[in-house]
Amino acid sequence: MAKSHQVLAFLRPNGGYVQVGQTYEGITFEEQCEPFTKAEYEAAFDLVDAAKAQAETDKAAAKATAEAKLAALGLTADDLKALGLGGN
């Protein structure tokens, strides 16, 4: 589940707010920051969770694609590591 600070960064990546506690009521918006509603704040938790899940799916797909390309070349991830080219 998304954390409040992740939701705030998602909704207002440039800041412009101060939050005391973990609730919408604890958010104070600075003058230059356009406030968002409590409904937007609460809905953003699901959006952040969905974005995280999509990022994990994309990472797994990219890894599978890379492994398929290596296999097509007759290589494995261990081959790349032996050459000093494997990240992790």
- State pLDDT tens for residues 49-71: 999 999 999 999 999 999 899 99
Q: Which residue has the tokens 């937007």?
A: 40
Nearest-angstrom CA–CA distance, 62 and 66: 6
Nearest-angstrom CA–CA distance, 30 and 79: 54
Is 80 exceeded by the pLDDT of residue 87?
A: no
The pLDDT of residue 1 is 92
Query: What b/e sequence results for 47-85 when a residue is b if at least 16 CB atoms lie within 10 Å of its CB, and e otherwise?
Result: ebeeeeeeeeeeeeeeeeeeeeeeeeeeeebeeeeeeee
